[in-house]
């Protein structure tokens, strides 16, 4: 790799749009595949990103099917460290390494996929599944292949193969396994558009590749087959039920790990430690509260919101002189909340209300969650965000994992 230059705290951040539909891999599966790009402008933009990845220590943001990632070479200490600097991420929060194909896993990372993962990879790679592997060592030198900055010096590394054509093309064209956490400032909701990345990281990275909105909306599922019984460390785009169904006998008794690690605990995957996914406005999660009318009313009576410095009620669609000094509450319902009755109760209590449904199906709610939190916080300037939880079946496990970490208060029936 060429001599690396250091990232700076302030730099010009450029956004380049690409046409993801112009990127094609000859084979859809996890095996290596010939890459073709039919749009010259997209190809030129990807090569600009590749040049940054290969010759500097500056990270590049790009879309994956889950959320936008902030990527740099997982093989280089300075490049990996620049990710932590840009995100202001705690140094003991490990990074997931992304590969473009099984051949890159073998040829560049010098490691093989343990047999326990073969049925999962056959079903879910490329896709939103991350597997924990023994940390690889260079057969020639015996040293660690992946930078210890990524692994926090542990003997394991988390690896996934993204399905998004832009992400996979960048990894293939650069021939670099990319360490790539979500491209947000640490603790903030994960970004699902290029504009979310820009809002958080403008001036901290040189380039954002804009491939449109992400499909899944929550991060990848992380599983650990290096222990017995195997564990689900982080729920995500692949459900626990799917892991059990596709994994065969070895995964029938997969154990769900605890959602949050202790303060001094070493973790093998991101998302288990520290505050995560939180907007500036306080988030209140209502779990199992039926139609929500009584629960929301009681909470607001005892915990009335106040106008925050980020609120901009003068731009509210219902603006008039009476509304200027009223706190603004966001309501994000899902399946059971009676939005009409709750809106009436909030208005009667003297507050403004913005309502945005997260959807009914698990896939819809996953897709909309982070973007809705950001919209209510950043665009609408709400002073408090009330969210209706869902049951933890299928996509619900990942949704509730994120909401529980984002919430400052959890209300249960």
pLDDT band (50, 70, 90) for residue 256: very high
Four-CA torsion 19, 20, 25, 30, nearest 10 degrees: 160
The distance of Cα 267 from the centroid of its chain, to the nearest Å, equals 17
Condensed to tens digits (0 to 9), the pLDDT of residues 161-196 reads 999 999 999 999 999 999 999 999 988 999 999 999
Mean pLDDT, to the nearest integer, of 308-324? 54
**Which of 220, 238, 256 is a domain's end point?**
256
**Predicted local distance difference test score (pLDDT) of residue 190:** 94
More reliable by pLDDT, 400 or 315: 400
Distance in angstroms (rounded) separating the CA atoms of residues 180 and 175: 15
Determine the structural domain holding residue 332 and report its residue range.
Answer: 283-412
Q: Picking from 27-41, 118-132, 199-213, 330-344, which range would have the lowest pLDDT averaged per residue? A: 27-41
**Predicted local distance difference test score (pLDDT) of residue 267:** 53
Residues 208 and 335 in one domain: no
Q: What is the domain count for the chain?
A: 2
Distance in angstroms (rounded) separating the CA atoms of residues 11 and 14: 10
pLDDT band (50, 70, 90) for residue 269: low
Q: Does residue 207 have a pLDDT over 60?
A: yes
More reliable by pLDDT, 282 or 310: 282
Q: Does residue 243 have a pLDDT over 80?
A: yes
Query: Are 173 and 47 spatial neighbours (Cβ–Cβ below 8 Å)?
Result: yes
Residues 242 and 360 in one domain: no
The position carrying tokens 């507050």 is 351
Residues 302 and 237 in one domain: no
CATH number of the structural domain spanning residue 185:
3.90.870.10
**Predicted local distance difference test score (pLDDT) of residue 275:** 59
**Which of 194, 221, 256 is a domain's end point?**
256
Strand pairing partners for 410?
Answer: 285
Condensed to tens digits (0 to 9), the pLDDT of residues 150-161 reads 998 789 999 999
Residues 29 and 80 in one domain: yes
3-class DSSP assignment, residue 292: coil
Residues 57 and 166 in one domain: yes
**Which of 193, 221, 256 is a domain's end point?**
256
Distance in angstroms (rounded) separating the CA atoms of residues 310 and 362: 31
Decide: residue 354, CB within 10 A, 0-12 exposed, 13-18 middle, 19+ buried: buried
Residues 70 and 111 in one domain: yes
Residues 321 and 242 in one domain: no
Residues 161 and 57 in one domain: yes
Strand pairing partners for 178?
Answer: 73, 98
Q: Does residue 233 have a pLDDT over 60?
A: yes
Q: Is residue 275 part of a domain?
A: no
**Predicted local distance difference test score (pLDDT) of residue 234:** 95
Residues 210 and 288 in one domain: no
What percent of the chain lies above the pLDDT cut of 90?
79
**Predicted local distance difference test score (pLDDT) of residue 143:** 86
pLDDT band (50, 70, 90) for residue 319: low
CATH number of the structural domain spanning residue 370:
3.40.50.11030
Q: Is residue 266 part of a domain?
A: no
Q: Does residue 206 have a pLDDT over 50?
A: yes
Q: Is residue 268 part of a domain?
A: no
Q: Is residue 6 part of a domain?
A: no
Q: Does residue 118 have a pLDDT over 70?
A: yes
Residues 187 and 300 in one domain: no
Q: Is residue 139 part of a domain?
A: yes
Residues 249 and 302 in one domain: no
Q: Does residue 24 have a pLDDT over 70?
A: yes
Q: Does residue 381 have a pLDDT over 50?
A: yes
3-class DSSP assignment, residue 50: helix
Residues 196 and 137 in one domain: yes
């Amino acid at each position: 790799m060429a001599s690396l230059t250091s990232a700076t705290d302030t730099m010009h951040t450029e956004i380049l749009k690409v046409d993801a539909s112009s990127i094609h891999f000859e084979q859809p599966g996890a095996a290596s595949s010939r890459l073709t790009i039919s749009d010259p402008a997209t190809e030129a933009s990807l090569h600009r990103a590749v040049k940054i990845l290969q010759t500097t220590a500056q990270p590049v943001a790009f879309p994956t099917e889950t959320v936008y990632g902030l990527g740099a070479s997982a093989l280089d200490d300075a490049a990996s460290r620049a990710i932590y600097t840009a995100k202001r991420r705690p140094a003991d929060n490990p990074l997931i390494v992304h590969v473009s194909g099984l051949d890159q896993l073998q040829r560049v990372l010098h490691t093989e996929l343990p047999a326990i993962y073969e049925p999962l990879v056959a079903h879910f790679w490329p896709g939103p599944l991350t597997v924990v592997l023994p940390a690889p060592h260079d057969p020639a030198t015996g040293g660690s292949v992946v930078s210890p900055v990524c692994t926090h010096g542990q003997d394991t590394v988390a690896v996934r193969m993204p399905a998004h054509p832009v992400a996979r093309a960048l990894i293939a064209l650069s021939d670099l396994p990319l360490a790539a956490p979500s491209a947000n400032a640490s603790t903030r909701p994960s970004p699902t558009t290029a504009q979310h990345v820009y809002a958080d990281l403008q001036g901290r990275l040189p380039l954002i590749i804009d491939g449109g909105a992400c499909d899944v909306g929550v991060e990848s599922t992380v599983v650990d087959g290096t222990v017995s019984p195997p564990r689900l460390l982080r729920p995500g785009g692949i459900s626990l039920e799917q892991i059990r169904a596709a994994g065969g006998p070895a995964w029938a008794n997969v154990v769900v790990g605890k959602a949050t690690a202790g303060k001094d605990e070493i973790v093998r995957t991101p998302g288990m430690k520290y505050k995560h996914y939180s907007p500036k406005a306080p988030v209140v999660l209502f779990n199992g509260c039926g139609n929500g009318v009584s629960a929301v009313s009681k909470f607001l009576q005892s915990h009335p919101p106040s106008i925050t410095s980020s609120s901009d009620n003068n731009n509210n669609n219902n603006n008039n002189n009476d509304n200027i000094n009223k706190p603004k509450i966001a309501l994000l319902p899902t399946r059971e909340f009676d939005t009409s009755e709750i809106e009436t109760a909030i208005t009667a209590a003297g507050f403004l209300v913005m309502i945005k449904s997260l959807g009914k199906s698990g896939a819809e709610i996953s897709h909309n969650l982070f973007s809705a939190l950001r919209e209510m916080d950043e665009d609408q300037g709400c002073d408090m965000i009330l969210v209706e939880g869902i049951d933890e079946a299928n996509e619900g496990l990942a949704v509730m994992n994120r909401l529980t970490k984002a919430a400052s208060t959890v209300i249960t029936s």
